Amino acid sequence: MKENKKVIIAIILLIILMFISAYDRIHYINSGIQILKDSNPTEDVNIEAVRATVSNYTGYDTFINGIGKGLIPIATIICPLILGYLFAGRFAYELKTGYGNMVITRQKFKQYFINIVKKTFMKSFLVVFFAETIFLIMCLLIFGWKTPVELHTQVFDSISWMFYKIPFLYCLIHVFKQSLYMSIITIIGMTSTIFTRNKFIIALSPFIVYLLINIVCPILDMIIDASALKMIYPDYLILSFMTGTYFMDNPIIHNICGFAIYIIIAVVLLVIMYKKYNKNYLR
């Protein structure tokens, strides 16, 4: 029951953070509305352009900005911290308290290990999935659900056209991708139990992994030709459909390969973790 309350609070917090992430865009539109209401606008303002921008703004635009395309993607940054605190340290906690010992006296360690990995993955996935789905519905109810209109020429990849044709499906794809990515990162954080049993460090590990990838990849790309690293760069992976052909000719292949790399890393670390505790878990 206590964990359920934490999960609900986490979902609410993520929704609030997503609205904060989209604030710059919402403020921009509100400023446009204010200009249109002003009976004496300044001469250097293109009223028709402002009216077109405001009238064509939809909840889908707010959603895309809230989940990571805003000026400061607060929700995306804080999400690994929340998931790490809630789920990544569960194995270490049960190991230190002896609860795990009690469980594996009734079932094999292999089954116990698989169950805790599955729970960690599914709970992390569902927290992000429900938070972003609720956020999407709220955006559509508040800002409108009409199909977005392309106001100027842009370079789009093979998927981005979907935003202007079937935006709801397009947004759901993003929800799924971010939920999957964050749950994999949480699993990778959980495997830091290989090196430490400190629950605080383990809880921070998904955020540390996310932060290091965001910092190291761009730095290496400036020093050497590290184009291949963009496969695992979080923003390119979970928001690649909105970046056109800037970094990758085929975003679908990029997404498949990027997620495959993360999954392989997670599986390898889980195998190492399993082998470490398989024979000496009981104390």
Residue 224 has pLDDT above 50, yes or no: yes
Highest mean pLDDT among 4-8, 15-19, 215-219: 15-19
112 against 124, higher pLDDT: 124
Residue 23 neighbours by CB distance under 10 Å:
18
Overall domain count for the chain: 1
For the whole model, what pTM was predicted? Answer: 0.86
Considering the domain boundaries, does residue 228 fall inside one? yes
Considering the domain boundaries, does residue 274 fall inside one? yes
Considering the domain boundaries, does residue 127 fall inside one? yes
144: left (phi over 0), alpha (psi -120 to 50) or beta: left
Considering the domain boundaries, does residue 74 fall inside one? no
DSSP string, 122-177: HHHHHHHHHHHHHHHHHHHHHH--SPP---S-----TTTTHHHHSHHHHHHHHHHH
Domain boundaries, position 223: 80-278
Considering the domain boundaries, does residue 146 fall inside one? yes
Considering the domain boundaries, does residue 4 fall inside one? no
What pLDDT does 247 receive? 46
Considering the domain boundaries, does residue 50 fall inside one? no
Considering the domain boundaries, does residue 201 fall inside one? yes
pLDDT band with cut points at 50, 70 and 90 for residue 159: low
